[in-house]
A = this chain, B = another copy of it.
Amino acid sequence: MRKIDVCLSPDLVHLYDLTNTAVVVVDIFRATSCMVTAFAYGAKEILPVEDIDLCKSMQEKGYLISAERNGITPEGFDFDNSPFSYQIEKVKGAKICVTTTNGTVAIRKASTAPLLMVGSFLNISKVIEKLKSWEGDVLVLCAGWKGKPNLEDTLFAGCVIDELNTHFQVADDAALMAWQNYNIASKDLQTAVKNSSHVNRLLKLGIEKDIAFCLEKDKYQVLPLWREGCLSL
């Protein structure tokens, strides 16, 4: 039987064999939720980079640019790492270069996988649909926060397992625990995350509406895939 596993931090991804594995990278607050939103609003391509200066330099090459460090957007970038900032006309047809604290690092670290997709609650049905038709194993890679596991990405991983547990065998304890954590939280994700450290960081930044938005399921029917060094539909 195919196996599904969860990697709780990008700092642990070297422990997982990605040879025949579909990887779902998730950074609920807010990188992958933003990417999904951007594609839903017509973005043509997203290029995740780890270096902030490299990101800035891509503006000259016709990219819109997006940067976040520690939850905050530096001066001179087009987007502020809120999914609402991508809900504008100029996103349509655009190429966007993105760098964030956690999410882009996770994508780069998993880029050797034969299938790599960007997941969020916003597009979870598209993720599930793709994984059901995948014949190998699955790893949900949580972006976490600076290497540490976080609740919201783990809950997304648990939700994917909950949807796929008749199709895949739970591979290991991290996946089992994520599934349990999701079962506790599933009826009311917003209440469940209100004690989490990352949500408290975000609340200090005054972005309550981003939190509610990023926890909505199935808002968008897009599935960003990694192909030839960037994300596209």
**A12 to B171, Cβ gap below 8 A?**
no
Q: B197, A172: Cβ atoms under 8 Å? A: yes
1/0 contact string of A134-152 vs chain B (CB within 8 Å): 0000000000011111110
- CB of A176 within 8 A of CB of B147, answer no
Nearest Cβ in chain B — how far from A155, in angstroms?
Answer: 9
Q: Which of A148, A170, A196 has its CB near the most chain B CB atoms (within 10 A)?
A: A148
Residues of B within 8 A of A166 (CB): none
A197: contacting residue among B12, B171, B195, CB under 8 A: B171
Q: Mark A165-177, 1 if CB is under 8 A from B, else 0.
A: 0000011111011
Q: Knowing A171-B197, A180-B181, A184-B180 touch, does A12 contact B15 (C-beta < 8 A)?
A: no
- Least CB separation from A174: chain B residue: B149
Kindly state the separation between the CA atoms of A154 and B172 in the bound complex, as whole angstroms.
13
Contact yes or no, A196 B181, CB < 8 A? no
A50 within 8 A of B: no
Q: What string of 1s and 0s marks CB contacts (under 8 Å) between A1-22 and chain B?
A: 0000000110110010000000
- Residues on B with C-beta less than 8 A from A150 are 173
A171 to B171, CA, bound (A): 28
Q: Which residues of B contact A12 (CB under 8 A)?
A: 9, 11-12, 147-148
Partner of A173 from the list B15, B174, B196 (CB cut-off 8 Å) is B196
Give complex CA distance A11, B8 in Å: 12
Taken together as a complex, chains A and B put the C-alpha atoms of A88 and B225 apart, in Å, by: 59
The answer to the question of A219 belonging to the interface, with a C-beta cut-off of 8 Å to chain B, is: no
Q: Judge if A126 is at the interface, Cβ distance under 8 Å.
A: no
